[in-house]
Structure 1
Amino acid sequence: MRGPHNLWRLIRTGATFERTGAMRVALEAMEAPPRLRLVARIMGWPFKWLGYAGDPALPPVTRAITALGPAYIKLGQVLSTRPDVVGEELANQLRVLQDRLPPFDIALAKATLAEEYGRPVEEIFSEFSEPVAAASIAQVHSARLIETGETVAVKVLRPGIEKAFKRDIDAFHFAADMIERLSPASRRLRPSDVIKHFEDLVAGELDLRLEAAAASQFAANTEKDAGFRVPLPVWQLSSRRVMVIDWAEGLPMGDPEALKAAGHDVTAIGTRVLQLFLSHALRDGYFHGDMHQGNLKVAENGDIIAFDFGIMGQIDQYTRHVYAEILMGFIHRDYRRVAEVHFEAGYIPPDQDVVQFALALRAVGEPIFGMNAKQISMARLLAYLFEVTERFGMATRTELILLQRTMVVVEGVARSLNPGINMWETAKPVVESYIRENVGPRGILRDLTRTARVLGRFGPQLPELMQKALERQVQPEEKPEPKTAQALGAVSAVLILAAGVALGLLI
């Protein structure tokens, strides 16, 4: 599938940007160097006639992205929250991608429902509205249940979306393979792994049963979070292509003026969004992975309501510790500690110089402090970070891609509500609380207790495990070599000590 035929898709991508006028707009918004702009225009112009026309009513970049399909739309959604990267004008254009895409016909939605339920829609819902929101992969309708009279949201996948998404991702894989072949230096960033990771994440959006499960889990994790709500799924009416979930009324977070007019403190909401995300990522290791304005509303009482749980992120306990220590190091401007954490976690090869890496991190972090968001060019900052990681051989961490991307998105949401927000000062109380509870003495004691419980469960099996270890190391009628005997003795001592610690803590 990932053969040269995908080259046609990539050519049409460039041609579409050229035909819609998006190429010039995008390059100018990204402040691309003049030489790059010239090369891009020369390369794109001959193939202009091959591009998709798109919807002429839309702005150029939005027009090109919507014409190209769901994977491109996902990228546009991320960029819409970063006016500091793509410019205020382009960011405003891309916000159309979040929840105001052209809907598909209501008859197609009802046909999907009837196919999934095996009976007409009218037997389940007393009311079924026209689409209230349309995104890249699905659209949402408001409906009223006949059985209970409750108002619910009904999410239905776009017809043919699975095939369209596979075509886009297939072309991305082809592009990644070509990049790795033509530029060996790019292999450090593992572009093929990155695309595979992205494919797995978004593929989860194509099975709405998984999204319903994610909503249920997220609601359970955040039940005690003040000022935050998650609608619950209606399980008996949810399936692979349809999800029914509680209706929650609120104002869109992408409209700060409407929020202000309703009496909401947008500065406080921006702070809360960022702190809630960090709390979910660090405390739970389970966070909303697509937390842009289109998936957030503000209730009448000021609660933040989250929607669209097709992309959720998970990070293990150890990675959370590493992430928290890196954040704390930047907050306290302890770049030596940040560098050491990178080495301890294996993110930077051991043959590199920790002192030089700390100096490079200082050059990244210092410009942030004492500035507001408008003074910081995130595009330049990310460019310098790339140079640093390339110089020190840091490989792309696929397990952190979603966390890093969502951090960028959430920061963009917070800045849209409060352009002067200081990311580090806002994050500080959440990170300090996590460090205090999980990395300090309390965290060590908790980890020891957890380890002891696990060892305690295996306690009765220790003799059998030791016997099997001896049988593997010593053949029949052979005596163990001195080194083998010493190793087995050490293993025995460790197991006995562990069992003692486990019993002591459990008692």
Structure 2
Amino acid sequence: MSRYPNITSEEGIRRYDAQEIARYCRRHLWKVIGRALTIAWFFGTFIIALQLDKWRGQQEIDKYKRARQLRQILTRLGPTFIKVGQALSTRPDLIRKDFLQELTKLQDQLPPFDSDRAFKIIETELSRKVSELYQEIAPQPVAAASLGQVYRAFLHSGEEVAVKVQRPDLLPIVTLDLYLMRWGASLLAPWLPLNLGHDLTLIVDEFGCKLFEEIDYLNEARNAEKFATNFRDDPHVKVPTIYWRYTNTRVLTLEWIDGFKLTDTAKIKAANLDQNKLIEIGVTAGLRQLLEFGFFHADPHPGNLFALPDGRMAFIDFGMMDQLEEFTKETIASSVVHLINKDYYGLAADFVNLGFLTPDTQIEPIIPALEQVLGKAMGESVANFNFKTITDEFSELMYDYPFRVPAKFALIIRSLVTQEGLALSLNPEFKIIEVSYPYVARRLLTGESPQMRRRLIDVLFKDGTFQWQRLENMIAIARLDSKFNLLPTAQLGLQYLLSDEGQYLRRQLLLALTENDRLHTEEVQRLWNLVKDDLQPGQLFNVALTAIRSFSNETVPTPIPKTKAPLIK
């Protein structure tokens, strides 16, 4: 029997379309009214209970009771509200600590649905009996999530697998909830500051698109394989294999992962795993997703990341993913460098390019506010930087200046803050900049694409003046990254300087060396002292020779393998 009477899965809309959903809901107005009354009843009783606690002076006594009540309400309202609760569980800046602890349970402590129904869904989707599909399958699920639940099983060929089965009657109720959320957002938007209300319905649309994609397990399987392809050269990242013969829209069969949740610090310590290494793997993987591939995991909560006994990190649940354009990746990289260098004019320009400010915004009045708020968040040292602090401080600007959060960046910010929170659970002293800035500096210095090389030039030149100190800082910080090798970077730089594309940089460097009618030998000496241990004369000769050969053959500059060049004998 469906928990949502008179709604059948066949009536659901397969892809998110706000107009189509509106038409569907207008045809089923009585269902919309019924659902709206149910939601209003649950939240109305909760608000009344909070108000009674306040009147009776029992807020502190009943706070944990109310937190449990909120979690139970979201659970009873179903998948859409559970997903909202999961998102809020990663936002300590928005939610009280007592509520936060309860909402965290929505990530992996949800009630399962009946296994008989789950097995019928498997047989319907895969057109075979469960016994024909699996040699053995557990009678009860090992985990229940917002959209489905997971069974441990063995294929007839012997492989141990996880079988993910979608909750019944999912699409119709999600459709109604998203319609009501969008309607509520449109009503609420005029009462909010312009910058906060502007994209409220767009954020609901973004959430709706991702939720509909997450409901389609074939889409999730494709995402998992794309993610695995991106990380095929990374021995520290594990992605489970998809078994396509046992997968369809509402059933997903994938390799079983044995590991420990990243929040289970006791088991991680008992397994003698290096917590700082796990942090580095997770943060670097997150940065590669955003700045290298542009294809990122938008739901990295603790239930989706596991530490494996061999020290690797496993990603699971690829339903909620997103893709960034090349321009966005480059701009994010340069904005991190502008922030670290406290170049608030450059940062404001990045905000315009990323959509946080409209192109017609007068940025000069905003610069002092950026300097005050972000300078406060940064503190006196780069090491004090963290995304959570930046997010908290930046939110203050939203009320006084025309900032807005583009819908896509709501997912990015959530992803970054969540990953940082996971890292902090492993090491409370963790500073994300110690991993992220060396990576960003290395990405810019190696300049694997023309666009990234142009970003490097933008960073190194300010108002036509070469920023010697920035180059020194970037090289020094990039060397903190164990994967950074100066020799290939030097070869790429020489190849670029000798190419047609490097004509502008050749001219600017000559001007920089003779700026203010003097030779800048002091700056050059400082740079040489910084890199001389990594660049021996014989190695430099090899690098120059390779670059000249590349130029004479008119080849396109490409990165060489990250191994040190042999010494000339």
TM-score bracket, normalised by the shorter chain, equals 0.7 to 0.9
Q: Secondary structure at the match of 2:402?
A: coil
Q: 2:288 aligns with which of 279, 283, 288?
A: 279
Q: Distance in 2 between matches of 1:275 and 1:198?
A: 26
Q: Secondary structure at the match of 1:131?
A: coil
Q: Distance in 1 between matches of 2:306 and 2:388?
A: 28
Pairing 1:287-306 to 2, within 5 Å after superposition? 287-306=296-315
Give the corresponding residue for 2:522. none
Pairing 1:24-423 to 2, within 5 Å after superposition? 59-83=68-92, 85-129=94-138, 130-146=140-156, 148-183=157-192, 185=194, 189-344=198-353, 347-370=356-379, 382=391, 384-423=393-432
Preserved CA contact (<8 Å) 1:138 1:156: yes
Preserved CA contact (<8 Å) 1:85 1:377: no
Alpha-carbon deviations, 1:203-239, whole Å to 9, x = none? 1111100000000110010111231110021011110
Q: Offset at 1:379? A: 8.3
Cα distance 1:58–1:338, how it changes in 2: closer, same or farther (>3 A)?
A: closer
Q: Distance in 1 between matches of 2:37 and 2:371?
A: 44
Preserved CA contact (<8 Å) 1:338 1:358: no
After superposition, the CA RMSD in angstroms is 3.6
Q: Distance in 2 between matches of 1:442 and 1:394?
A: 24
Q: 1:11 aligns with which of 31, 40, 57?
A: 40
Cα distance 1:443–1:111, how it changes in 2: closer, same or farther (>3 A)?
A: farther
Partner amino acid for 2:112? P
Q: Distance in 1 between matches of 2:443 and 2:388?
A: 29
Q: Distance in 2 between matches of 1:362 and 1:346?
A: 20
Partner amino acid for 2:145? A
Preserved CA contact (<8 Å) 1:229 1:305: yes
Q: Offset at 1:386? A: 3.6
TM-score, normalised with respect to structure 2: 0.67
Partner amino acid for 1:260? K
Alpha-carbon deviations, 1:166-224, whole Å to 9, x = none? 22212101101211355573675321111011100011111100000000110010111
Cα distance 1:395–1:58, how it changes in 2: closer, same or farther (>3 A)?
A: closer
Alpha-carbon deviations, 1:25-79, whole Å to 9, x = none? 9xxxxxxxxxxx88xx9xxxxxxxxxxxxxx999233222212221221122233
Cα distance 1:376–1:275, how it changes in 2: closer, same or farther (>3 A)?
A: closer
Farther off after superposition, 268-277 or 184-193: 184-193
Partner amino acid for 1:11? A
Structure 1 unmatched runs, 5+: 26-36, 42-55, 453-503
Partner amino acid for 1:248? I
Q: Distance in 2 between matches of 1:87 and 1:302?
A: 34
Q: Offset at 1:319? A: 0.6
Alpha-carbon deviations, 1:66-93, whole Å to 9, x = none? 1222122112223333446535543332
Q: Offset at 1:381? A: 6.0
Q: Distance in 2 between matches of 1:128 and 1:297?
A: 23
Partner amino acid for 1:223? R
Partner amino acid for 1:283? E
Q: Secondary structure at the match of 2:142?
A: strand
Q: 1:435 aligns with which of 424, 433, 444?
A: 444
Preserved CA contact (<8 Å) 1:331 1:425: no
Partner amino acid for 1:259? I
Cα distance 1:215–1:366, how it changes in 2: closer, same or farther (>3 A)?
A: same
Partner amino acid for 1:301? D
Q: Offset at 1:417? A: 1.6
Preserved CA contact (<8 Å) 1:180 1:186: no
Q: Distance in 2 between matches of 1:7 and 1:320?
A: 40
Q: Distance in 2 between matches of 1:195 and 1:142?
A: 34
Preserved CA contact (<8 Å) 1:297 1:304: yes
Preserved CA contact (<8 Å) 2:262 2:307: yes
Structure 2 unmatched runs, 5+: 1-24, 59-64, 458-491, 502-553, 557-569
Q: Offset at 1:505? A: 7.3
TM-score, normalised with respect to structure 1: 0.75
Q: Distance in 1 between matches of 2:329 and 2:172?
A: 36
- The alignment covers a number of residue pairs equal to 424
- Percent sequence identity over aligned pairs: 29
Cα distance 1:388–1:223, how it changes in 2: closer, same or farther (>3 A)?
A: same
Cα distance 1:177–1:337, how it changes in 2: closer, same or farther (>3 A)?
A: same
Alpha-carbon deviations, 1:113-152, whole Å to 9, x = none? 1111222100111110120110000101011001x11111
